[in-house]
Structure 1
Amino acid sequence: MAPDRTTPARMGNTPEDYARFGIEAGSIKPHEDGLRTDGGPGSYEWWYFDAHLDDGAKLVVVFFTKEFTAIDKPLAPMIRIDLTLPDGTTVEKLAEFDAKAFSASTETCDVRIGDNVFAGDLQTYTIHAKAEDVEVDVTLTGQVPAWRPESGHWLFGTEAEQVFAWLPSVPEGRVEATYSIGGKTSTTTGVGYHDHNWGNTLMLKLMHHWYWARGSAGPFSVIASYITAEKQYGYSTLPVFMLARDGKLIADDKSKVTFEELGRYTDTGTGKPVANVTRYTYTDRTERYVVTYTRHSDLSTMKFVDGLKGPKKAAAKLSGFDGAYLRFVGEVRVEHYVGESLEESYVDDALWELMYFGKARP
Structure 2
Amino acid sequence: MTTTSAGQKRVRLAADPADFARLGLNPLSTAQFEDGLRTDPNRRGSYEWWYFDASLDDGAKLVVGFYTKNPATPGTRLAPFVNINLDLPDGRSFERTFAADPEQFSASTDGCDVRIGDHRFSGDLQTYRVSASVENVTVNVTLNGTVPAWRPATGYEMFACNGVEKTFAWFVAVPNGRVDAEYSVDGQVVKTTGVGYHDHNWGDAPLRELMHNWYWGRAQVGPYSLIAAHITAEKAYGYEPLTTLHLARDGVVVADDGTKVAVTTDRIGIDAPSGKPVADILTYDYRAGPDRFTIAFEREETLLRTRFIDVVPPAAKLLARLMRFDAAYLRFTGTLVLRRYLDDVLVEEYTETKALWELMYLGKTRLPVT
Return the TM-score normalized by structure 1: 0.96
Letter in 1 for 2:356: L
Tell me by how many angstroms 1:16 deviates.
2.2
Matched, 1:268 2:272: yes
| 1:32 corresponding residue in structure 2 | 34
Which of these residues, 307, 310, 313, is aligned with residue 309 of structure 1?
Answer: 313
Residue deviations 1:332-356 (CA, integer Å, cap 9, x gap): 1111111232111101120000111
Task: Kindly state the Cα deviation for residue 52 of structure 1 after the two structures are TM-superposed.
Answer: 0.4
Distance apart, 1:310 and its partner CA: 1.4
Q: What is the distance in 1 between the residues matched to 2:279 and 2:28?
A: 33
Superposed counterparts of 1:287-306, under 5 Å: 287-306=291-310
Equivalent position SS for 1:157: strand
Which residues of 2 match residues 203-222 of structure 1 at below 5 A? Answer: 203-222=207-226
Shift of 1:314: 1.3
Partner of 2:43: 41
3-state SS of the aligned residue for 2:146?
Answer: strand
Q: For 1:47-58, list aligned pairs within 5 A.
A: 47-58=50-61
Structure 1 position 192, deviation (Å)? 0.4
Give 1:38 deviation, angstroms: 1.7
Say whether the 8 Å CA contact 2:75–2:206 is kept in structure 1.
no
* Contact kept in structure 2, 1:209 and 1:356, CA below 8 Å: yes
Q: In the alignment, is residue 59 of structure 1 matched against residue 59 of structure 2?
A: no
Matches within 5 A, 1:306-345: 306-345=310-349
Superposed displacement of residue 6, structure 1:
10
Match of 1:356 in 2: 361
Give the alignment of 1:29-178 within 5 angstroms. 29-42=31-44, 43-158=46-161, 159=163, 161-178=165-182
- Take 1:206 and 1:255, find their aligned partners in 2: how far apart are those partners? 20
Deviation of the 1:309 alpha carbon: 3.1
Q: Is 2:21 aligned against 1:19? A: yes
Change (3 A) 1:177 1:231: same
2:104 touches 2:117 (CA, 8 Å); kept in 1?
yes
Secondary structure at 1:296 match in 2: strand
1:166-189 deviation per Cα after TM superposition (whole angstroms, max 9, x unaligned)? 111101100000001111110000
Name stretches of at least 5 consecutive residues in structure 1 with no aligned partner. Answer: none
- The number of residue pairs the alignment matches comes to 358
- Find 1:10's aligned residue among 9, 12, 23: 12
Could you tell me how far apart the structure 1 residues matched to 2:28 and 2:317 are? 43
- How far apart are residue 156 of structure 1 and its match? 1.4
| 1:183 aligns with one of 181, 187, 192 | 187
Q: CA deviation at 1:160?
A: 5.0
Post-superposition Cα deviations, 1:86-133, rounded to whole Å, max 9, x if no partner, equal 101000000011111111111110111121110001110011111112
Other structure's SS at 2:84 match: strand
Partners of 2:302 and 2:73 in 1: CA distance:
27
* One-letter code aligned to 1:358: G
Unaligned runs of 5+ in 2: 1-6
Work out the CA distance in 1 between the residues paired with 2:299 and 2:248: 23
Q: Which moved more, 1:209-218 or 1:22-31?
A: 22-31
In the TM superposition, residue 20 of structure 1 has moved relative to its aligned partner by 2.3
**Deviation (angstroms), 1:15:** 2.0
Deviation at 1:361, TM superposition (A): 2.1
C-alpha distance in 2, partners of 1:132/1:18?
43
Over 3 Å counting, the alpha-carbon distance change for 1:249 and 1:315 in structure 2 is same
Distance 2:100 2:238 in 1: 39
Q: Distance in 2 between matches of 1:287 and 1:44?
A: 38
State whether residues 152 and 166 of structure 1, in contact with CA within 8 Å, keep that contact through their aligned partners in structure 2.
yes
Structure 1 residue 238: Cα displacement: 0.3
Select the residue among 265, 274, 281 that pairs with 1:277.
281
2:66 and 2:257 mapped to 1: Cα distance? 30
* Deviation string, structure 1 residues 49-84 (Cα, Å, up to 9, x no partner): 000000111100000011113322111110000001
User: Partner residue of 1:238?
Assistant: 242
1:116-153 CA-to-partner distances (Å, cap 9, x unmatched) read 11000111001111111211100000011111111110
> How far did 1:7 drift?
7.3
